[in-house]
Structure 1
Amino acid sequence: MRAILSISILSLISAPSFAADIIFDPDPVPPIVSLPEGPFTWSGRYVGVDLGFGRGKVKESFVTENIPESIFNIRQTEGAFGGVYAGFGRQARKLYFGFEGDIQYAGIKGTHADDGGPVAEFTTQWLGSTRLRAGYAMNDMFGQDMGHLLPYVTGGLAFGSFKATVTDNGNEWVGERGDTGYTLGGGFDYAINRNTIAKLEYQYLDFGNRSFSDETDYARVRVKGHTLRAGVAYKF
């Protein structure tokens, strides 16, 4: 009996030191595995800035008697513009469809002077558009890596703000208006990386025949032009 008690007491005394010698390994932490990125797609939203140059033409169709006849036959208007654009689109296999809008501050102007002294000036102050876009994603064409290139066509509603003036012997006639027309064009988008998209775009704009007037006189002219712009956007 005494032997049994002695063994029990010795077991209780030695148990803590035995437990201290036991090492418990924590559960191993699984390694962090970075998932591969999916293939590039043009689908998504984007916002960007652009700069461009525009040329146009103004053709007179009618003026009242206090405005010199043919004064608004301006063969060329030209100047720079710049602004912002934003849009979104979806890629389905190689086909792309999207929507884009832009607004531009412009300094596109032209003048015409008569031999008798009157001078007409026509200025495009603002330009903008809301357009549909359709393109074709060109990746790895003919077995060669061409990067991510998206040629596209575009068309839709154009709008702008215009100012027409005639100066004659110190007197000035001014007519201003905002108006809408249509635009058609095309361009290329190029993906510098997954989130940075560069663009080069041409647009033809036609605002039709519009009347510019003050309180007493008016001139009716046709306004049309061409623009070329380059931009860079961030794609979400």
Structure 2
Amino acid sequence: MTTKTLFSAIALTVSTLTSAMAADVTMPYKAAPAAAAFSWTGCYVGGNVGGGRGVNEQQPIVGQDFTANHNSGWLAGVQGGCDYQVGSLVVGVEGQFDWADMKDTSTTLIPGGAIGFLLTTQLDRVATATGRIGYAFDRVLFYAKGGAAFAHFNHQMTQTDFAALSVDFTGSRDVTGFVVGAGLEYALLPNLSLKAEYNYFDFGTNGYTLNCSGNPGCAGIPFFPASGPAEHADRHARRELAIQHGWRAARRPILIGVPKASAARRVRRAAANSRRGFDAVVPAPP
């Protein structure tokens, strides 16, 4: 064997061994980045605006029936609460307060006479304390809610002959009842969401007092006492849009990695590298 042939054989052996060792080295890999899954867990505050309609039915007074009020108007206020998410299930509590101007005036005529009544009912504020439960599709949450409701009503009954006589009887009352509703909430950002909601309120039947004190026209008014009890049944529905800022806990991201090469793949890679080693070495002529 000549010197050139010996050097070629040594070069071939070194090339083959180097390729084989390279095949046994574990190839580094990098996990593919994954975005953190959105979580509804956390607390929030926000504001809301909306509109509503209601039915207020006045119970008969001294045998006189009255035309019902059909209130309508606006509501606006603030809300705050906390949610907790387990899987796709979201449960939470919320408190809400709204200023309102929902009112209506109805006219009732006394049969056979020239006297009538103008009955005005106004809802000027309402508050709720509710729980809610929902199902989340990532940033979209469908939910139902229910709980206690509190409201303040102003009442005015005007006895008039629609000409010269006009006497006002006024009163107000704080009432309690219940509320049920449903809504859809969407998280625009991790800490900012927008929701649309529908609520139904029922405040039952409540007594209140209408007063005519201090008015000289109160004396001798027929069909209605200067000060007396009355009963009112109140039912309202509210639709609203709300935007709220929250402090929510981020869920741990799910990391999706590229698996390491199997032993069989390493063997195939080593064989391929060995073939490339033979092709790279060209023996010199003797």
Using the size of structure 1 for normalisation, the TM-score is 0.77
Pick aligned residue for 1:210 from 192, 202, 206 = 206
Which is greater in Rg?
A: 2
Q: Which residue of structure 2 lines up, in the alignment, with residue 178 of structure 1?
A: 174
Pick aligned residue for 2:78 from 78, 84, 90 = 84
Q: Which residue of structure 1 lines up, in the alignment, with residue 135 of structure 2?
A: 136
Further displaced range: 214-223 or 78-87? 214-223
Structure 2 SS opposite 1:62: coil
Q: Hey, what's the Cα distance between the residues in 2 that align with 1:226 and 1:198?
A: 20
Pick aligned residue for 2:61 from 18, 41, 63 = 63
Give the unaligned 5+ runs of structure 1. Answer: 1-34, 140-147
Sequence identity percentage = 27
Q: Which residue of structure 2 lines up, in the alignment, with residue 43 of structure 1?
A: 41
Within-5 A mapping of 1:65-214: 69-71=64-66, 73-74=68-69, 76-115=70-109, 116-139=115-138, 148-168=139-159, 169-214=165-210
Using the size of structure 2 for normalisation, the TM-score is 0.64
Q: Hey, what's the Cα distance between the residues in 1 that align with 2:95 and 2:107?
A: 36
RMSD across aligned C-alpha pairs, in angstroms?
Answer: 1.6
Question: Could you say which structure has the higher strand fraction?
Answer: 1
Q: Hey, what's the Cα distance between the residues in 2 that align with 1:64 and 1:175?
A: 18
Structure 2 SS opposite 1:217: strand
Q: Hey, what's the Cα distance between the residues in 2 that align with 1:180 and 1:37?
A: 46
8 A Cα contact 2:57 2:68, kept in partner = yes
Which residue type is aligned with residue 154 of structure 2? Answer: K
Residue 222 of structure 1 pairs with residue 218 of structure 2:
no
8 A Cα contact 2:44 2:80, kept in partner = yes
What's the offset of the Cα at 1:64? 4.2
What's the offset of the Cα at 1:170? 2.2
Number of positions where the alignment pairs a residue of Structure 1 with one of Structure 2 = 190
Q: Hey, what's the Cα distance between the residues in 2 that align with 1:179 and 1:37?
A: 49
Greater length-normalized contact order (CA 8 Å, ≥ 6 residues apart): 2
